[in-house]
A and B are shown apart, each in its own frame.
Chain A
Amino acid sequence: MRIKPIAAAALVTATTLALAGCATNETPAAGNTSASGGSQTLTGVGASSQKAAQEKWVAEFQTKNPNITVNYSPDGSGAGRSAFIAGAAAFAGSDRPLKDEEMGAGKFAGCAADSNALNLPVYISPIAVIYNVEGVTDLALDPEVVAGIFAGKITKWNDPAIVKTNPGAKLPDATITAVHRADDSGTTNNFTDTLNKLAPSVWAAPASDTFPADFGGEAANGTSGVVQAVTGGTNTIGYADASAAGSLGKASIVVNGKPLQPTAEAAAAILDHSQTVAGREANDLAYSLDRTSEGVYPAVLVSYAIVCQTYKDSAVATLVKDYVGYMASADGQAAAASAAGSAPLSSALQAKVKTALDSVK
């Protein structure tokens, strides 16, 4: 039969494809220091919120260290954490620190048996409440009102609760279209956490990557999708990274009687007013965010780099210290601010991250 070789070839091709499909779950070994010509590779996996910043950091870092290749795949925080736990990534980018039950010596395949993980904040981004209402250029909203709007309880722009904080604005008698993220994201997680912390009476749902389905509203895909839906619609409101807001109005959030704009300073201040999670190692900088402090813009996304205290492979440790050290340095933070519009870490915090990284072996 003549068909045999062809069918066999087809089978081989198809099988290869299928196997390749399976293999996508396996990330190449992390921190592969194959010393071919002294070139080294560092692998990080994690939050897509850090994507723009990581691209900038990688470019700058590799220019300074031409023999080091850094790969950061923005597969999402959850993927990053599981890759780090499995030892497939030398460091993880995550929009939240590891929880207490996730921490513990010996739980991380890439770390030494007696080593715990360290959570280091490296990226802070304010989340702006963006709006597009004709004739309104200035908007200040109480957290309860923001929660009410996104929960579908406040439905008109001239609702007394909105008028109260904006006595001078010409608010139309129009229905509010609240736009949220259709996809799971750390932005949604931090935004819902903010509403839950500041307006628990209106927003009882705990923080979650997925916008609560019961609250209705309009969904759009990704940060750009939300910004575009708010821009293209009328009488719309949404939330997105402040750097992506473009020409849209950004509402001030009234905290303790003071309206606050999502500026870099007001956002970065959150870590100076927050406490680190209790019961962690001295060098672990996992923060439980205090979104209610004076002068702190509450809706802030803090993204972490998760590293080992002690790496199995000391060469990987050196690479991580160099690269994450650069990320948290004044230079690195300035680069991220210019490329991604993030809020630079305060110099005190930069010093803390440096101290923590110095302890990494």
Chain B
Amino acid sequence: MTEKLTRPPTADPDAGPPAQADPRRPGEAIFRGLATGAGITILVILALVASFLLVQGSPALFADPAKLASQGYGEFASWVLPYAFGTVWAALLALLLAVPVAIGIALFISHYAPRRLAQPLGYVIDLLAAVPSVVFGLWGSLVLAPAVRPLYEALNAHLGFIPLFAGQVSGTGRTILTAAIVLATMILPIITSLCREVFLQAPRLHEEAALALGATRWEMIKMAVLPFARPGIIAAIMLGLGRALGETMAVTMVLSGSRNITFELLTSQNPNTIAATIAQNFPEAFGLKTNQLIAAGLVLFVITLAVNSIARWIVARRAEYSGAN
């Protein structure tokens, strides 16, 4: 933001529009080529992934349901729907757990913590992002699941009248709530890092003005920081959601997944996610089953794309009146 503010308002007359490659300035053209190439590459990769999923998945998508039942995993739409639900449901739960904590940590680092503490804390959070998911999976299944089981028993005993906590509590603790906690831990650093950066960008003048008008620190954050940061927060949440949707290994190891749609959080019967289903079944799959799993991957691709597009749309819509400018 600061660079933006300090940049001289009048453009350098020598620079000119970059499109006209000046023969005396080859660097301009080379850089432009590199940047455009990189932009095209990402589109090409995306298109290739999509076409791979389409081509390899289409035999299952267009197969006769009877044939799918005998050689695959069963009729496609009804087969994939519980998994699609599980994917979105687990990711939403993870967001619900992670977002308040992440924003809290980010605010603490940017506005509350003494500078001496803030910096190391920031590093630690970033470090958490570097832990591989298989380690989170191991931790989730070996440590977290047995540890939270008594808590689940208590939740079920006292709050069992709420449908979320109803049902027979799993004897191993490997439920969708445990998976969501693991996912939340995994997406926490991403959301925190981005939010912290955005909070630090909040215009100093606005903050000081709020304080000068007699606002408390919390009121200042509410008036000057959060409105400014809202698009950034949403973008951070969407990035976290993207990771939660696609996470495979940790869910595979932690979740006791089955093929059903339920909102109960504490039972053995949890809707599995698409990514975990593919990971579990691909090693032994062959023929039409492979196609069907890849087609499920296509569904996941579409879900992720839709989520990201919605996020982009929200950010673009909000950017105009973010309150900062």
Taking the closest CB of chain A, its distance from the CB of B55, in whole angstroms, is: 8
In the complex with contacts A217-B268, A218-B172, A75-B141 CB distance below 8 A = no
Q: Mark A223-263, 1 if CB is under 8 A from B, else 0.
A: 00100111011111000000000000000000000000000
Interface size on A, as a range, is 35 or more
Residue numbers in A under 8 Å from B145 (CB-CB): 232-233
Contact, CB under 8 Å: B171 / A218: yes
* Residues B123-175 near A (CB distance < 8 A): 141-142, 145-146, 149, 168-174
Contact, CB under 8 Å: A3 / B256: no
The tally of residues in B whose CB lies under 8 Å from a CB in A reads 47
CB < 8 Å: which of A21, A75, A229 contacts B172?
A: A229
Of A104-112, A178-186, A332-340, A343-351, the one touching chain B: A178-186
Taking the closest CB of chain A, its distance from the CB of B53, in whole angstroms, is: 10
Q: Classify the interface of chain A: helix, strand, loop or mixed.
A: mixed
B40 at the interface (CB under 8 A from A): yes
| Interchain Cβ contacts within 8 Å, total number | 135
A18 at the interface (CB under 8 A from B): yes
Q: Who on chain A is nearest to B42 by CB?
A: A10
Contact, CB under 8 Å: B146 / A232: yes
Taking the closest CB of chain A, its distance from the CB of B156, in whole angstroms, is: 11
A77 at the interface (CB under 8 A from B): yes
B120 at the interface (CB under 8 A from A): no
Q: Who on chain B is nearest to A234 by CB?
A: B171
A216 at the interface (CB under 8 A from B): yes
B14 at the interface (CB under 8 A from A): no
What is the bound-complex CA distance between A230 and B170, given in angstroms? 12
A23 at the interface (CB under 8 A from B): no
Taking the closest CB of chain B, its distance from the CB of A150, in whole angstroms, is: 12
CB < 8 Å: which of B141, B168, B286 contacts A79?
A: B286
Q: Mark B221-243, 1 if CB is under 8 A from A, else 0.
A: 00000000000000000000000
Residue numbers in A under 8 Å from B172 (CB-CB): 177, 179, 218, 229-230, 232-234, 236
Contact, CB under 8 Å: B171 / A10: no
User: Top 7 nearest A-B pairs by Cβ distance?
Assistant: A177-B171, A233-B172, A6-B37, A2-B33, A76-B284, A218-B268, A10-B41
| 20 A–B contacts, CB within 8 A, in A order | A1-B33, A6-B40, A7-B41, A11-B44, A14-B41, A17-B48, A75-B286, A78-B285, A175-B169, A175-B171, A176-B171, A177-B268, A179-B172, A182-B256, A183-B283, A210-B73, A218-B170, A219-B257, A221-B252, A233-B149
Residues of B at the A interface (CB closer than 8 Å) are 21, 29-30, 32-34, 36-37, 40-41, 44-45, 48, 51-52, 73, 141-142, 145-146, 149, 168-174, 252-253, 256-260, 268-269, 272, 279-281, 283-287, 289
